[in-house]
Amino acid sequence: MLKEKILVLMGGYSEEREVSLRSGAAVLNALKNLGYDAAALDLKGSSVQAIADYNPDLVFIALHGKDGEDGTVQGLLEIMGIPYTGSGVASSAIGINKVLTKKILMYERIPTAAFAILKKHDFISPERELQSLLENIGLPMVIKAATQGSSIGTFIVHQESDVLVAIEAAFQYDSEVLVEKFIDGIEVTSTIIGNELTRVLPLIEITSANEFYDFESKYTPGMCNHIIPARIEKHLQDKVADLSERVYKSLSCRGYARVDFIIDKTGNPFVLEINTIPGMTEMSLVPDAARAAGISFEELVERIARLGLETPIRQR
């Protein structure tokens, strides 16, 4: 029996282009090993016609960051009537935006760090903003570009003199910046797979050679450790898993996603963010979580593909 024709979209224009190329190559290799009629397309420099010419039964989206993880490609594929992997337009657009995600977490009463929102066009009195942040957020604080992934445009600031420098650096990536209260604790991540029925894979504890799990730590061999299972008590693992599903369903995610947490010194978990198209490279967290659950990389890729194929385009 012939398997479906699948096009892997990868590369693209975002700051995470190189990571996406690695994710896409790994996914393409798995699909071919599974017997699918699969090919890859680098979104950078490619036309919409190139997707149409391939005429796929499914597009496996292996794009990260803007113009891939933010609902734009998802909307294009819906207009073209082509099924795709992962979450739909609205879920993708909200998930990549740390500010919008925060607002939904607050509405759903899901624990997350205290935060403030800065908009570039309103940032006309830096010293006044600085005093407000020091009073309401305090040091240390975390400054993040709102719609970047892989910790790009993210800074942990310990000294007052560095706050405005970090904000300006974050504004280089995005017109909106999120400022969070820094929580000292254990970083864990949770992978969720499924559409209506979901499964949470074993939690992973992350340690990093740098101050936090930044871009360098994520993609440089030897600079981070993925500890499975996470070294937290069972009741806390269950709590994190439950919160993960709540986040996933609050944003109406589909296919798969990863939710990142910090657990403070008193054992309280706080949601940091959700990744609706997590990395699929040799150093990525989702494949590690799958292996811990007895799911090979090829099996993981096939499950994600089948979840995409079972979703009617107009019901996403």
User: Which pLDDT tens digit goes with each residue over 70-104?
Assistant: 999 999 999 999 999 999 999 999 999 999 999 99
Domain presence at residue 218: yes
The answer on 205 and 99 residing in a single domain is yes
Task: Give the pLDDT band of residue 254 (cuts 50, 70, 90).
Answer: very high
My answer on whether 228 and 99 are in the same domain is yes
The per-residue pLDDT for 45 is 82
Residue 129: left (phi > 0), alpha (psi -120 to 50), or beta? Answer: alpha
- CATH number of the domain within which 168 lies: 3.30.1490.20
Residue 206: inside a domain:
yes
Computed on alpha carbons and rounded to an integer, the radius of gyration of the chain in Å comes to 19
The encoded tokens of residue 13 equal: 């224009």
Q: Which domain holds residue 237?
A: 94-111+184-309
Rounded Cα distance between 95 and 65, Å, is: 11
**Of 135, 164, 181, which one is at a domain's C-terminal end?**
181
203 and 259 both lie in a single domain:
yes
Percent of the chain with pLDDT over 90: 76
| Closest residue by Cα to residue 266 from 236, 225, 234, 227 | 236
Determine the Cα angle at 50 with ends 275 and 174, to 5°: 35
User: What are the catalytic residues?
Assistant: 16, 150, 219, 258, 260, 273, 275, 279
DSSP symbol at 121: G
Note whether 98 and 20 are same-domain residues. no
Give the closest residue to 101 by CA, choosing from 86, 85, 117. Answer: 117
3-state class of 135 per DSSP? helix
Is pLDDT above 60 for 240? Answer: yes
Task: Assess if residue 315 is contained within a domain.
Answer: no
- Regarding whether 103 and 211 lie in a shared domain, the answer is yes
pTM assigned to the model: 0.90
Spatial CB neighbours of 265, under 8 Å, sequence gap ≥ 6: 184, 185
pLDDT greater than 70 at residue 23: yes
Q: For residue 314, tell me if it sits in a domain.
A: no
Domain count, the chain: 3
d(CA 86, CA 66): 15
Residue in 117, 180, 147 with CA at minimum distance from that of residue 15 = 147
Distances (CA, A) of 19 to 23, 27, 196, 254, 306: 6, 12, 29, 22, 24
Sign of CA dihedral 8, 291, 275, 207: negative
Task: Kindly indicate the confidence band of residue 298, based on its pLDDT and cuts at 50, 70 and 90.
Answer: very high
Which residues are CB-contacts of 8 (< 8 A; sequence separation ≥ 6)?
24, 27, 28, 31, 38, 39, 40, 41, 59, 60, 62
